[in-house]
Chain A
Amino acid sequence: MEQRNPGKHPHPPRREDASHMEYMTEVRNFAIRSWFPEIAGEVGGIAAQAGMPAVIDADQYAELAPEIDRSPAVAGWKRVMRSQQQLAWQKLQDSYAADREFWEGRLTEAEERNPGRLHYDPDFHVPESACEDIHLQPGGYCGDNLAGFVFYHGTRVFYQGDNDKDEIHEACVEDMRLPADGQVRRILDLGCSIGQCTTVLKERHPQAEVWGLDVALPMLRYAHMRATDMGVDVHFQQALAENMQHDDDSFDAVLAYILFHEVPEHTFEPIVREMLRVLRPGGTLTVIDTPNSTVFPSPNWMWKTFDARYNCEPYSQAFGAFDFAALLEEVGFEDIRKETTNTFLLNTLATKPG
């Protein structure tokens, strides 16, 4: 059956999974597009009444939070956002788990069909910080062999239908800074998950050797199966971003798309140093992630703090407040530029001195 062949844009296992995903996508659209503007009005009103300015820092938000949390509207919104996420994951996970052997067989079959492209060590130690149930996905990225299948569909809901054809991953690759000398022989996709940027990178730079690196083996196995089905020749490797197992000066360009807000703060510097090390002189770095600032409008704080605790983004707050561009400079990158895109993310571009 066609839909049992994952490929680039697979269907979920059953028609009812597709219907449920579609429903959850619309619930999310409603909560974010129609409802959140009204919630923002309510939160902004509470802030104004307390005499707060339009943008506030974390301490100011902490002062307001008890009052904001007493708002039934805010409480209802949070409940819907959390339940939507939980219910979407649960249904997908149950559906794949019902036919576990078949799906695990698909992963194994791809490894046999396309050997030498998935690199991992069975004794690799996954740190605890990489085992969180990020975004409430049960078992997170590492806890279930089928996590990649579930992640693919779950994030389609998360992207509210805007990434059904990998449009967002294509935009990330489009936005990358590339070396001024035009030499692109090796590219690294750091924290690649299921390799959606990795395959776009290879399609855009067919002459280059492209590597996707991630700590989570279930993600990488899915990425490898997907790329194999697509006929795109890329490498996937299980490693820590802070210890990549690649030679000095061995990549021309590195992309890290929404990795940093999911790792603990004490790893920011080791990861940045490692990126500098593996880039060759003149090599370029593109980090696409949530914006770094110590001040935000009060409705953004409400969402950010909710997300951190109740959508399981335990490390996101620290990254949000961190001066990432300053760290890049301290570690030795140059020509650092921040670019806001039309999404809610920030692109930080940098170059290794030539």
Chain B
Amino acid sequence: MNSKHDELSRAQVERAALPGPGEEPHFLPHPVMDRLLEAVIVLGGELWIERDRRRALESLLQSKGVVTPEEIETHSESDAQGRQEELTALITRLLDPLRTMRADG
């Protein structure tokens, strides 16, 4: 049955060879480069979390002059577009060195 399937090429196996438990592959020439890149992504996430909170805080401070943690926790900013643009710009800054990287380094 399923003649196309009978002709399956050798690259088609039922289960792909996954990295083993706890084993992290590296894609870049040296594992350290993979880790550094991951660290950059983590850093960006941390930065964004802080920035997001700060923006909320500042906007609250501006409008009320008084801040409670609950207010920050539930606050939603009116300048959604400006906020989005700032996030996109941040990620572009972080990852553009990779985007523009070519085989010749």
Q: Identify the A interface with B (CB < 8 A).
A: 14-16, 19-20, 22-24, 26-27, 30-31, 34-35, 38, 42, 57-59, 61-62, 69-80, 82-84, 87, 91, 129, 132, 264-266, 269, 294, 305, 308-310, 312-318, 321-323, 326-327, 330
Q: State whether A313 touches B41 (Cβ < 8 A).
A: no
Chain B residues in 8 Å Cβ range of A61: 11
CB distance from B6 to the nearest CB of A (A): 10
Q: State whether A264 touches B99 (Cβ < 8 A).
A: no
Chain A residues in 8 Å Cβ range of B37: 76, 79-80, 83
Q: Which of B2, B10, B52, B91 contacts A326 (CB 8 A)?
A: B2
Q: Residue on B with the closest CB to A88? A: B45
Q: Residue on B with the closest CB to A323? A: B4
Give the tally of cross-chain contacts (CB within 8 A). 159
CB distance from B56 to the nearest CB of A (A): 8
Q: In the complex, what distance in Å separates the CA atom of A15 from the CA atom of B55?
A: 13
Q: Identify the B interface with A (CB < 8 A).
A: 1-5, 7-19, 25-29, 34, 37-38, 41-42, 44-45, 48-49, 52-53, 56, 72-73, 87-88, 91-92, 95, 98-99, 101-103, 105
Q: In the complex, what distance in Å separates the CA atom of A38 from the CA atom of B17?
A: 27
> 5 A–B contact pairs at CB < 8 A?
A23-B48, A58-B8, A79-B26, A87-B41, A132-B18
Q: State whether A80 touches B98 (Cβ < 8 A).
A: yes
- Given A19-B49, A22-B48, A72-B105, is A79 in contact with B38 using a C-beta cutoff of 8 Å? yes
Q: In the complex, what distance in Å separates the CA atom of A42 from the CA atom of B44?
A: 26
Q: Which of A38, A62, A294, A330 contacts B10 (CB 8 A)?
A: A62
Chain A residues in 8 Å Cβ range of B52: 15-16, 19, 22
Q: Residue on B with the closest CB to A266? A: B14
Q: State whether B4 touches A322 (Cβ < 8 A).
A: yes
Q: State whether A59 touches B14 (Cβ < 8 A).
A: no
Q: Residue on B with the closest CB to A63? A: B11
Q: In the complex, what distance in Å separates the CA atom of A71 from the CA atom of B13?
A: 25
Of all A-B residue pairs in the complex, the 7 with the closest CB atoms, nearest first, are A58-B11, A323-B4, A75-B27, A19-B52, A308-B16, A23-B48, A58-B9
Q: Residue on A with the closest CB to B87? A: A26
5 further A-B contacts with Cβ under 8 Å, apart from A23-B44, A76-B98, A321-B9, are A23-B91, A73-B103, A79-B34, A310-B25, A330-B1
Q: State whether B18 touches A315 (Cβ < 8 A).
A: no
Q: State whether A315 touches B48 (Cβ < 8 A).
A: no
CB distance from B78 to the nearest CB of A (A): 16
Q: Which of A23, A26, A30, A72 contacts B49 (CB 8 A)?
A: A23
Q: In the complex, what distance in Å separates the CA atom of A42 from the CA atom of B98?
A: 13
Q: In the complex, what distance in Å separates the CA atom of A309 from the CA atom of B24?
A: 12
Q: State whether A30 touches B45 (Cβ < 8 A).
A: no
Q: State whether B102 touches A317 (Cβ < 8 A).
A: no
Q: State whether A73 touches B16 (Cβ < 8 A).
A: no
Q: State whether B13 touches A15 (Cβ < 8 A).
A: no
Q: State whether A83 touches B12 (Cβ < 8 A).
A: no
Q: Which of B2, B12, B45 contacts A317 (CB 8 A)?
A: B12
- Given A22-B48, A75-B28, is A80 in contact with B19 using a C-beta cutoff of 8 Å? no
- Given A309-B17, A314-B15, is A321 in contact with B8 using a C-beta cutoff of 8 Å? yes
Chain B residues in 8 Å Cβ range of A310: 19, 25
Chain A residues in 8 Å Cβ range of B41: 27, 80, 83-84, 87
Chain B residues in 8 Å Cβ range of A315: 14-16
CB distance from A51 to the nearest CB of B (A): 18
Chain A residues in 8 Å Cβ range of B4: 294, 321-323, 326
Q: In the complex, what distance in Å separates the CA atom of A330 from the CA atom of B3?
A: 11
Q: Which of B2, B29, B95 contacts A27 (CB 8 A)?
A: B95
CB distance from B9 to the nearest CB of A (A): 4
